[in-house]
Amino acid sequence: MNFSKYRKDFPVLDKVVYLDNAATSLKPRQVIEAMDYYYKECPVNIHRGVYRLSQEASAVYEECHERLARFFNCSPREVILTGNSTDALNMLMYMLYNSNYFKKGDEILTTVYEHHSNLVPWQFLCQKLGLKLKFVEITRDYNFDLDDFKKKVTPRTKLVTFAHISNTIATIAPVKEIVDFLKGRGILVCVDGSQSAPHKKIDFKKLRVDFFVCTAHKMLGPTGVGVLVARGKLLENLSPVRFGGDMIAHVSLEKATWNDLPSKFEAGTPNISGAFGTIAAIDYLERLGMDSIAYNDKKLLEYALDKLNLEGVTIYNPKNPKMQGSIVLFDMEGINSRELSTLLGDYSNIATRAGMHCAEPIISRFNKEGLVRASFYFYNTKHDIDLLAKALKEIHKKF
Ligand SMILES: Cc1ncc(COP(=O)(O)O)c(C=O)c1O
């Protein structure tokens, strides 16, 4: 499929070579128009009014759950709308905390390369409850170390939580092998799909995990919308974490009962315009087809890994397009990553990201001053990568 014809839907591409897609994707015109429609045509609250406009907005908000459920192959009751991935992971942490799931001495297993949002909430919980936080290592070629993982699972392990695709080294976690190994041990599994959901088909049932988290703004959608997909049976028994309007069934002065799923976990006025935008984003992704996006990503990445294999540039990824997400993480000898990223922006109008990428433990292993990340999406072209390679060669000559 020729994806370059879709570039016209992202007018900002005329102004910049955008290679910061792992931070956030661009938003197509259709998403902006859908949100505009909400604010212009039915800017009212949901679930509270019996008048037509409120019913229209409420129906769209419900449709957002249904569309996400179809997109991820789960039930709409299993889709909780949150503020972003960070919010979803924090909510999950508090859901487990409020439900007394952990006991002192229990263990949580994650990896050494998590985004801070899948690390810091668990650090907090471990300190609060006296739990042990353990970390799966990477292999020498930046892959998930399955042997190390197997060694670190013990009878005290109660939760395994890891990025589907790392936002830095781009490692793809072997979810099938992980879930097969954990089968029958009664351990909860959470997958942070912030970097996978934009790039590949996610089938929640096939993944066979308990929780899946992602964030709409990385998948063409608006900021302020995240998703926590969770097995319905678990959600029925887990405690809510936010209390107030919409999440209740009945309230007396002394106590309250909870609403049905997923409202039990969605207190207060939600991001209604975000729901309009998210539906438009899902429409767009479905029109392109997630398998076509994944195929195109691999081709672009293959090209990038070849073109960016340059003198003076070190790449910190598996370097096998089949084993990694659409990210190239690198530095250049003799120049600090922030300066390098600034030069790419100032002289070649190329947007990359520099620094710790919200994953300081893994980045600081490789370079205490941070690394540069170029990340791709379907609207990028080989020409974008050629421009990056050319700019890097010129900068290397100068430094
Ligand atoms: C792997 C991963 N997890 C979580 C997040 C957090 O996403 P958000 O900032 O939308 O909460 C990111 C964002 O970069 C990410 O890449």
Q: Which residues form the catalytic set?
A: 358
Is ligand 1 within 6 A of the CB of residue 164? no
**Comma-separated ranges of CATH 3.90.1150.10 domains in the chain:** 3-19+290-398
The pLDDT, as a whole number, for residue 137 is 98
Q: Cα of 225 to ligand 1 centre, how many Å?
A: 12
Say how far apart CA 77 and CA 80 lie, in whole Å: 8
Bridge partners (DSSP) listed for residue 372:
330, 354
Pocket test for ligand 1, best of 86, 120, 357, 360 (most atoms within 8 A of CB): 86
Nearest C-alpha neighbor of 192 from the set 206, 207, 181? 207
Is ligand 1 within 6 A of the CB of residue 167? yes
**Comma-separated ranges of CATH 3.40.640.10 domains in the chain:** 30-286
Say how far apart CA 228 and CA 80 lie, in whole Å: 5
Q: Cα of 350 to ligand 1 centre, how many Å?
A: 22
Three-state helix/strand/coil letters over 180-224: HHHCCCCCEEEEECCCCCCCCCCCHHHHCCCEEEEEHHHCCCCCC
Q: Cα of 100 to ligand 1 centre, how many Å?
A: 26
Q: Cα of 135 to ligand 1 centre, how many Å?
A: 19
List, as own/partner pairs, every contact residues 1-7 make where C-beta atoms lie below 8 angstroms and the sequence separation is at least 24, other chains included: 1/288, 1/289, 1/292, 1/295, 1/296, 3/288, 3/296, 3/378, 3/379, 4/379, 4/381, 6/288, 6/378, 6/379, 7/379, 7/381
Is ligand 1 within 6 A of the CB of residue 375? no
State the residue for tokens 């799909």: 193
Judge contact between 332 and 311, C-beta under 8 A: no
Nearest atom, ligand 1, residue 164 CA: 1
Q: Cα of 153 to ligand 1 centre, how many Å?
A: 25
Is ligand 1 within 6 A of the CB of residue 194? yes
The pLDDT, as a whole number, for residue 1 is 76
The per-residue pLDDT for range 63-111, each reduced to its tens digit, is: 999 999 999 999 999 999 999 999 999 999 999 999 999 999 999 999 9
Class of residue 260 by CB neighbours under 10 A (exposed 0-12, middle 13-18, buried 19+): exposed
Nearest atom, ligand 1, residue 223 CA: 10
Domain over 3-19+290-398 is classified CATH 3.90.1150.10: yes
Query: What 3-state DSSP class applies to 317?
Result: coil
Nearest CA to ligand 1 atom 16: 167
Is ligand 1 within 6 A of the CB of residue 153? no
Nearest C-alpha neighbor of 64 from the set 42, 99, 35, 100? 35
DSSP 32-69: HHHHHHHHHH----SSS--SHHHHHHHHHHHHHHHHHH
Which sign does the torsion angle of CA 233, 236, 238, 240 carry?
positive
Q: Cα of 85 to ligand 1 centre, how many Å?
A: 6
Bridge partners (DSSP) listed for residue 80:
228
Q: Show the low-confidence residues of the chain (pLDDT under 70).
A: none
Bridge partners (DSSP) listed for residue 220:
none
Nearest atom, ligand 1, residue 215 CA: 10
Nearest atom, ligand 1, residue 218 CA: 10
Pocket test for ligand 1, best of 20, 118, 167 (most atoms within 8 A of CB): 167
Judge contact between 217 and 84, C-beta under 8 A: yes
Query: What 3-state DSSP class applies to 20?
Result: strand
30-286 — its CATH code? 3.40.640.10
Is ligand 1 within 6 A of the CB of residue 86? yes
Say how far apart CA 99 and CA 253 lie, in whole Å: 23
Is ligand 1 within 6 A of the CB of residue 85? yes
